[in-house]
Amino acid sequence: MDAKGAGLTAAVFAVVGVGVGLVAAVGTSWAETALATAATGETARFGPVFVAQSYLAVTAAALIGAPLVAGVLGVLFGSRAYDAREAAATSGVGGGVGALIYGLVVVALVVVSQGEAAAQAHGIADAIGPLLTTAVAAAVVGAATGAVGSVTA
């Protein structure tokens, strides 16, 4: 395994996680304003439930991006490697660790952005299971695409 390559992969995930997390935070804040803060009548009564669902949906959608990033980075790293096993190990470890960092950054930014109407929305601890599942999926995708990418070297 190439530790430098795995570290670079994880660093790219962190940068992408900041961008996705910021956009997710803006989107959920917008949903909170539209569904609860500025709501009247029945919408005001059910607004916090809608807001919590919005936070959950945006977080889940953001986590879907991690295996996609792992796939792209796996092929890119693998295409520069001459050994399929090394490419798979490096891209798998980098993708798994990177996806965990990505997910933590995204979830933290979404949770920090929660306003008063998001009392029912998820916290960081609530997302640990999905974060770990995302990291495993990204590790598998990264390893597979790293090995595939090495064929093009």
C-alpha angle 107/128/17, rounded to 5°?
30
Asked if residue 67 has pLDDT above 80, the reply is: yes
Q: Write out the H or E segment, with its range, that includes residue 124.
A: none
**Can you give the residue ranges of every domain in the chain?**
3-150
- The pLDDT assigned to 84 comes to 92
- 30-39, 54-63, 113-122, 141-150: range with highest mean pLDDT: 141-150
- The pLDDT assigned to 37 comes to 61
Residue 7 has a CB neighbour count (10 Å cut-off) of 15
Give me the mean pLDDT over the 13-19 stretch.
96
DSSP state of 121: S
More reliable by pLDDT, 10 or 119? 10
| DSSP per-residue letters across 42-89 | HHHHHHHHHHHHHHHHHHHHHHHHHHHHHHHHHHHHHTT-S-HHHHHH
Taken as a whole, the chain contains a residue count of: 153
Asked if residue 44 has pLDDT above 80, the reply is: no
Asked if residue 45 has pLDDT above 70, the reply is: no
pLDDT class for 123, splitting at 50, 70, 90? Answer: confident
- The pLDDT assigned to 43 comes to 59
Asked if residue 98 has pLDDT above 90, the reply is: yes
- The pLDDT assigned to 65 comes to 94
| DSSP per-residue letters across 9-48 | HHHHHHHHHHHHHHHHHHHHHHHHIIIIIT--HHHHHHHH
Put simply, whether the predicted model's pTM sits higher than 0.85 gets the answer yes
Q: What is the mean pLDDT of the chain?
A: 88
